[in-house]
Structure 1
Amino acid sequence: MKTLKIALLAAAATVAMGGAALADDSPTVAFNIGAASDYVFRGISQTDEGGQVFGGADLTAGKLYAGTWLSNVDFNNGTTMEYDLYAGYKPTVGPVALDLGVIYYGYANKPSGSGDEAYTEIKVAGSVPVGKGTIGAAVYYSPEFPFKSGAATYVELNGSVPVDDKWSLSGAVGHQDVDYNGDYNTWNLGVSYALTSHVGLDLRYWDTDEHSFGKIYDGRVAASIKATF
């Protein structure tokens, strides 16, 4: 069943990407760099509640995109860096803006014998405008989560709304399901401020319903700054 699910999702993404016309869309490249007080991913600290420095690059050609992103991490096992590779297609169907993609999460300096941390996810996401804001939903599926913990699915509902030209509010609620234990719910709510057209600040509260899993699952506030160019 897992193999069939992956095959169907991959086939759909391939058909969608294959139908995209690139003739009138010149490729563009954008870069980003930033720092945060904590690297929080789906409610969990990836830096053992420490600071984060990150950066990435994105190539866009019409509705197709591909990119990479790097960040320091601290899992208390010697692993020091995460590198993501991703690609996808962003079609529009009526009022719905879709994002169909694949993401690979790799890790550097992993100590031998600690298990396989790397994994791949297939993403299907969409958003619709509601007044001045947007409401969206996303599903991420991995056939094998880190440390051979089985298939995993993450489902999220999210939304954002501008307050004025510089301020905006956004939040999300999600559920992470893993075959081999580890299920939990997560949510976040934050405010963003555009310092300039290329530099933004974000202050966000994150939490989960499984504090018993460890301190990295506890509620926390994270501040970040990001520049794009």
Structure 2
Amino acid sequence: MRFSHLLAGGLCLMAATPALAQEETTPPPPVTVTGSVGLVSDYRFRGVSQSDRNLAVQGGVTIAHESGLYIGTWGSNLAGWGTFGGANMELDLIAGYKLPVGGGTLDVGATWYMYPSGFDNTDFIEPYVKLSGTLGPASLTAGVAYAPKQEALGAWSSTGAIAANVDYDNGIGYDNPGDKNDNLYLWGDAAAAIPNTGLTAKAHIGYSNGNKGLGPFATSVAPTGEYFDWLIGADYAIKGTPLTLGVAYTDTDISKADSAYLQPSFSKGQDGAGTIAGATVVFSLTAAF
């Protein structure tokens, strides 16, 4: 149907006068579908590796209505610290509403973080509000995400050593089982295209405030309770293709001393032999559609 409509429209334009051709425009569709698939050298969530500093395959789809309503989903493989169970996969379900405000856009929505076939009490919901706009050549975004009290965010184990000795099958061994907590995340993003290069410079800073400990099955959204994360990098759009190459330097202010109490869960391979919150360079290859 859409192809036939465009073909007929094209034939009409060929027969039209130049003035009429300039006046006619194709209205945007009421519903748009966009998405991407990609490969990253390390899946960093708010500065902390979720893939044990290894490769991750990621992808997502968003369906948006002209009214501003949208729904979407995004997924990635997981590894490293924490015990999610099931497929060791993160699957996010997203819904929200965008509306123009001044010269920018206000985006209000929520993300449901889930782990297919995994443990139910590691799932949690996180509402968010984002305000985006432009300043000169730069695109700017400021956001706040607040997850209300939930078991997934609780400090069930105060140390990694306690979490490492929990009997997950029977749900015993925690020093504070069933605890519920909330989590706050504030962030700002900036991006600016470099003319005639295909390059876009990008930067990010975020602040996390949540439970100081580990939740059920040794998971945590805010390791050490309170920390900053940041990123600086660039993306290169390969001309004539839907591909984008990315490189970014990312880090947190979580020191080895700050994270020591989380050992061995807060470490590479859960063996106490390293940190997954230290500085690193992340490479990515993404295809948009």
TM-score, length of structure 2 as denominator length: 0.66
Q: Verify the 8 A CA contact 2:153 2:210 in the aligned structure 1.
A: no
Deviations for 1:133-192, whole angstroms, at most 9, x for unmatched residues?
122210000013635241110001221111124101111111100144521111100100
- Does 2:128 align with 1:123? yes
1:98 Cα offset (Å): 1.4
Matches within 5 A, 1:108-187: 108-110=116-118, 116-144=121-149, 146-149=152-155, 150-165=181-196, 166-180=198-212, 182-187=225-230
Matches within 5 A, 1:16-165: 26-62=30-66, 63-76=68-81, 77=83, 79=85, 80-110=88-118, 116-144=121-149, 146-149=152-155, 150-165=181-196
Q: 1:198 aligns with which of 242, 257, 261?
A: 242
The one-letter code sitting in structure 2 at the alignment partner of 1:135 is: L
Q: Verify the 8 A CA contact 1:36 1:52 in the aligned structure 2.
A: yes
Report the CA distance shift for 1:135/1:30 in structure 2 as closer, same or farther (over 3 A).
closer
1:116 Cα offset (Å): 2.4
Flag structure 2 segments of 5+ consecutive residues without an equivalent.
1-27, 156-180, 213-223, 260-265, 267-274
The alignment yields a C-alpha RMSD, in angstroms, of 1.9
Distance 1:65 1:156 in 2: 22
More strand by share: 1
Match in the other structure for 1:4 = none
Match in the other structure for 2:164 = none
Q: Verify the 8 A CA contact 2:153 2:211 in the aligned structure 1.
A: no
The one-letter code sitting in structure 2 at the alignment partner of 1:30 is: T
Deviations for 1:12-69, whole angstroms, at most 9, x for unmatched residues?
xxxxxxxxxxxx9621222321111000111000101010001121101112111111
Q: Verify the 8 A CA contact 2:185 2:209 in the aligned structure 1.
A: yes
Aligned length: 203
- Comparing 205-214 with 218-227, greater Cα deviation is found at 205-214
Q: Verify the 8 A CA contact 1:67 1:86 in the aligned structure 2.
A: yes
Distance 1:101 1:75 in 2: 29
1:109 Cα offset (Å): 4.4
Q: Quick check: which has more Rg, 1 or 2? A: 2
TM-score, length of structure 1 as denominator length: 0.82
Deviations for 1:193-222, whole angstroms, at most 9, x for unmatched residues?
001452111101110001322411111111
Flag structure 1 segments of 5+ consecutive residues without an equivalent.
1-23
| Identity between Structure 1 and Structure 2 (%) | 31
1:96 Cα offset (Å): 2.2
Q: Verify the 8 A CA contact 1:188 1:207 in the aligned structure 2.
A: yes
Deviations for 1:114-147, whole angstroms, at most 9, x for unmatched residues?
x822111111011221111122210000013635
Q: Verify the 8 A CA contact 1:125 1:137 in the aligned structure 2.
A: yes
